[in-house]
């Protein structure tokens, strides 16, 4: 032991050679260009945001008055929002987006669980059909949806035109498709041995689904809820076709109404409303951020 200690202490200590600094040209070729691209990308993405905030703080009511960023700083536009139906539109949008997001998650998760765990005739054809149908945007059918709601409103008025419930049902009609396919890939990553062990303990399919599977696939549920909320929050065409009265409008429809007339467009008020309406989406994104990467990538491991 002592001999080993002496021999170890007697070994020469190797001095670490100082790292040679890279030449500027080599540094730029290997690393510098990445920083340059990143800076350009951030500036390109941030400039519209800074411009719209500057326009919201300008009391001139035009976008051309904001060419000089923050030349004027006034809260007049934000104060004027309280005299409009802006907050009513905000509540309508949040209710529609939250209900649609929850419904999308529940419907998509149930369909994905069935396709992942059960083997039945037409399973592969059903998956392919959902994916193919989703290739056609729902907005292409807004004329058919409009006529359908007119006829349906004569029978069930609450599901006719100018109904928020009818709009939610229309959105949920397109809830399957890509969402189901995304969840299906994630469900396949959950070992089937867990299902078999639960069945041995006497658990039913419902108990397995609600108490085990949904807890394990919570990242993909959060991702689908976020995507559904964002798409519903900013949807315009179908909402404008279904909702007729101003008190039932969503934010997208209401904000468009402020700038639809070129002779009487108030871009300052529009910019203030746009800034505030971005807050719920930003808060939800930050709250679910830890699930996003895992939810989007884990489903691609096993299909």
**Residue that has been written with the tokens 């429809």 in this structure:** 253
Number of CB atoms found within 10 A of residue 289's CB: 11
Q: Are residues 36 and 144 in the same domain?
A: no
Q: Are residues 97 and 69 in the same domain?
A: no
Q: Please check whether residue 177 is in contact with residue 131, taking contact to mean a CB–CB distance below 8 angstroms.
A: yes
Query: Is 112 part of any domain?
Result: yes
Residue 82 CB contacts under 8 Å (≥ 6 apart), including other chains = none
Residue 34 CB contacts under 8 Å (≥ 6 apart), including other chains = none
Residue 251 confidence (pLDDT):
94
- Tens of pLDDT along the chain (303 residues)? 445 554 545 555 555 555 567 677 777 777 778 888 989 999 898 888 888 888 888 877 666 655 677 777 888 889 999 889 999 999 999 999 999 999 999 999 999 998 988 888 888 888 888 878 777 777 788 888 899 999 998 999 889 999 999 999 999 987 777 788 888 888 888 888 888 888 888 888 888 889 888 888 888 898 899 989 999 999 999 999 999 999 999 999 999 988 887 777 788 899 999 999 999 999 998 888 777 765 555 544 444
Q: Are residues 127 and 268 in the same domain?
A: yes
Query: Is 11 part of any domain?
Result: no
State in Å, rounded, how far the first CA of the chain is from the last one: 57
Residue that finishes a domain, picked among 56, 74, 92: 74
Q: Please check whether residue 53 is in contact with residue 210, taking contact to mean a CB–CB distance below 8 angstroms.
A: no
Q: Are residues 149 and 108 in the same domain?
A: yes
**Residue that has been written with the tokens 């419904």 in this structure:** 103
Q: Are residues 62 and 192 in the same domain?
A: no
Q: Are residues 48 and 102 in the same domain?
A: no
Q: Are residues 39 and 159 in the same domain?
A: no
Residue 302 confidence (pLDDT):
45
Q: Are residues 43 and 138 in the same domain?
A: no
Query: Is 176 part of any domain?
Result: yes
Query: Is 98 part of any domain?
Result: yes
Alpha helices (runs of H) in 174-266, residue ranges in sequence order: 178-187, 192-200, 205-208, 214-216, 218-233, 237-242, 251-259
Query: Is 64 part of any domain?
Result: yes
Q: Are residues 210 and 277 in the same domain?
A: yes
Query: Is 3 part of any domain?
Result: no
Q: Are residues 146 and 206 in the same domain?
A: yes
Q: Are residues 88 and 189 in the same domain?
A: yes
| Closest among 224, 219, 234, 223 to 281, alpha carbons compared | 234
Domain, as residue range, for 64? 24-74
Query: Is 197 part of any domain?
Result: yes
Query: Is 109 part of any domain?
Result: yes
* pTM given for the model: 0.82
Count how many domains the chain has.
2
Q: Are residues 70 and 90 in the same domain?
A: no
Q: Which CATH number belongs to the domain containing residue 193 in this structure?
A: 1.10.3720.10
Express the helix, strand and coil content of the chain in percent, nearest 5 each. 75, 0, 25
């Amino acid at each position: 032991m002592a001999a080993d200690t002496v021999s170890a202490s007697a070994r020469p200590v190797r001095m670490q050679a100082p790292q040679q600094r890279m030449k500027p040209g080599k540094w730029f070729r290997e690393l510098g260009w990445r920083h340059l691209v990143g800076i350009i990308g951030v500036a390109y993405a941030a400039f519209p945001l800074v411009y719209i905030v500057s326009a919201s703080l300008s009391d001139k009511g035009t976008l051309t008055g904001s060419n000089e960023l923050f030349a004027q700083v006034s809260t007049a536009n934000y104060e004027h929002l309280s005299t409009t139906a802006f907050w009513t539109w905000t509540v309508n949008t949040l209710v529609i987006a939250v209900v649609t997001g929850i419904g999308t998650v529940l419907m998509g998760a149930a369909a994905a669980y069935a396709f992942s765990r059960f083997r039945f005739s037409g399973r592969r054809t059903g998956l392919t059909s959902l994916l193919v149908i989703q290739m056609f945007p729902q907005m292409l059918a807004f004329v058919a949806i409009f006529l359908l709601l007119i006829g349906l409103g004569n029978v069930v008025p609450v599901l006719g035109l100018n109904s928020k419930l009818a709009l939610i049902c229309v959105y949920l009609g397109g809830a399957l498709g890509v969402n189901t396919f995304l969840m299906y890939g994630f469900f396949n990553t959950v070992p089937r041995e867990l299902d078999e062990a639960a069945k041995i303990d006497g658990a039913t399919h419902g108990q397995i689904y609600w108490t085990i599977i949904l807890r394990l696939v919570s990242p993909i549920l959060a991702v689908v809820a976020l995507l559904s909320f964002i798409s519903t929050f900013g949807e315009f065409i179908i909402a404008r076709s279904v909702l007729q009265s101003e008190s039932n409008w969503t934010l997208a429809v209401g904000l468009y109404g402020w700038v639809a007339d070129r002779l009487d467009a108030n871009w300052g008020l529009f910019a203030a409303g746009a800034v505030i309406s971005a807050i719920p989406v930003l808060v939800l994104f930050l709250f679910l951020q830890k699930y996003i990467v895992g939810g989007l990538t884990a489903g691609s491991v096993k299909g």
